Every structure is written in structure tokens, then in C-alpha cells.
Chain A
């Protein structure tokens, strides 16, 4: 089942000092700019995988080992814009 980027808020609150779901993200694949909340998220894999809603390119992969260590792959993200929204 797929969710959206809103569901990542809790898992990513420990990693970023800003609120990720409201961040504007530019996809490295198609250049679409959209809030992270719009990502297509698969949360039932061993980790979480988030894809661009426009081109399906993987934006973020997050895996935790359950003992306090976490790996984050953001290679599909070209740019993050954080702060006050317009």
C-alpha cells in the first residue's frame, strides 16, 4: 500500500532540524518542485522508500537497524527549500 510524504514526519524528525513534510523538494530526475508531503511513500519495506509523484524516481530511502543507527539516501533530490512557506 502506498501513503504520502506526510507519514515520514515522525521518522525524519530525528534527522532534520526542519520539518520535512513542508519542505519544497526539487526532484533530480524531472525537476518537479513539490512539498515532501506529496511523495509516494512505501513504508512496509524493510526501510521507507519515497518516490516523486510526477516521475516516480526514488527521492529518499531510509533504513534503521533498530539499535539507533539510521541510513538515509537522498540521491534523488536535487534541492531542498526550507523555511517559511509562501
Chain B
């Protein structure tokens, strides 16, 4: 579990964009290079600061998508149309560009890999990003913790990391999808918003046991966390992270 470690003073550091990968129409993964290695725990985020020529600064938080053992840190960023930071990160930034980051930070929404309890991950839209770090970490370390992802998106093209998730399935991990707006005729997953009956079907066999991580837009997280508690999950073991606009899950 999270430890109250004594933290050194956090400073902003410059990172350089390594690679840029388009994940969906609105989401881009940026690989970051830095002089000092960035080490994180699965689920943590960094604060990103952009500075305009006139000195105006804007800060936003973005979850780390890569596993701690991956060669470099990557962020997956979804473009928010009126955003101050995400449009630059997703449509302007290219390899060699630089910006500042602070972190990694966060001690609550973090998966403790020494906990053998089964893990249910519930993602709404780009809320899948910090959960992907946990899934990748499990595979990188060859951990056998049972882990299942329930992933809600508007349509099939909005599902991030789909190919990789399907490749990672097996050996105690699987992904279950639900599409809330448009599903192709041959779609075999769920076709509705996440609700209590769906959670009851997908959660681990030991009812109410295990740790749950829920990440997505605020209403999505509220509804999901409330359903889980009604189903008997201990509130302290339902960890939540909410973000504002964008509504992959709605």
C-alpha cells in the first residue's frame, strides 16, 4: 500500500519528445526522453507545463501509460477541443520538441504489485491510460495476479491499445469491452453503459474481494464506484481517479 515516503522537493524538468504514435482519432502517445531516468509506480501521473512565448503557463496532469520497467516513459493524451495543453500535445508536438514535467506523483491511485488480491480495472474512455501501466507492469514482471479490465468506450475506434490488450489476454488477464454509442453488427461485447449487473458478471469470482481501480470521467466513476459498493465491495478497496471533460465512457 501507499507509503508516506519523505519526498524531496519536486522540480520541473525538461523532457524531449521521442516518438509520437496516433492511438485513435483523438488520442496520441508521446514517448519522453529525459537526462535523468523517470521512475514511476503503475497508476501514477505527471504534471505537464507548457510555457508560451509571452511567458503564459498552463499545467495539466497526464497519466503514465508505460510500465515502470519499459525503456522510456510514455503518456497517452486525449485531445480536448478547447483545451490549453492537450491540443498542443496531440496535434503539434513532434520528436525533438521539449516541455516540462513534474513528477511522477500520486500515491493513492497506485497498484501495489506485492498484493496478491485479484484486481478489477474499470476504464471509461481515456481513463484506461493509468490502468494500462498496471496491465503492462503485470506482464513485464511476469506477475500472476489475476487481473481483468472492463473497458467502456463510445465506439470501437475509440478503444485505445486494442491490439495490445488482445495480445496480452491469457495467463490470468483478460479484457471485457462495452460500447455505449455505436457497435458494429458483429460486435460480441456489451452494448451499454457499465451498470451493476455488468459489474456483477465481470468481477472476480470471490465476490467483493480484491482491489478495484476505476478511472474515467467524473459521472462514470461515481456511478461505477457506487455500484461496486452496493455489490459489497469495501469502499477502501475501490480506488478512483476522475477527470473532467471528454467522455469516452458516456
Contact = CB atoms under 8 A, between A and B. Distances in A.
Contacts of B245: 1
Interface stretch (A7-15, A55-63, A69-77): A7-15
The DSSP consensus for interface residues of chain A is mixed
Contact of B242 (A3, A13, A85): A3
B174 interface: no
A52 B10 CA distance: 26
B37 interface: no
B10 A1 contact: no
B61 A10 contact: yes
Interface string B223-250: 0000000000000100111111100000
A2 B243 CA distance: 7
B244 A3 contact: yes
A22 B10 contact: no
Residue among A19, A38, A84 with the most chain B CB within 10 A? Answer: A19
Contact of A21 (B7, B107, B221, B244): B107
Contacts of B105: 9-10, 13
Given A10-B47, A10-B61, A17 B218 contact: no
A86 interface: yes
A85 B106 contact: no
Nearest to B101: A10
Given A13-B105, A84-B3, A4 B10 contact: no
Interface in A28-86: 35-38, 82-86
Interface string B1-22: 1111111011000000000000
Interface of B: 1-7, 9-10, 45-47, 61, 102-103, 105-109, 218, 221, 236, 239-245
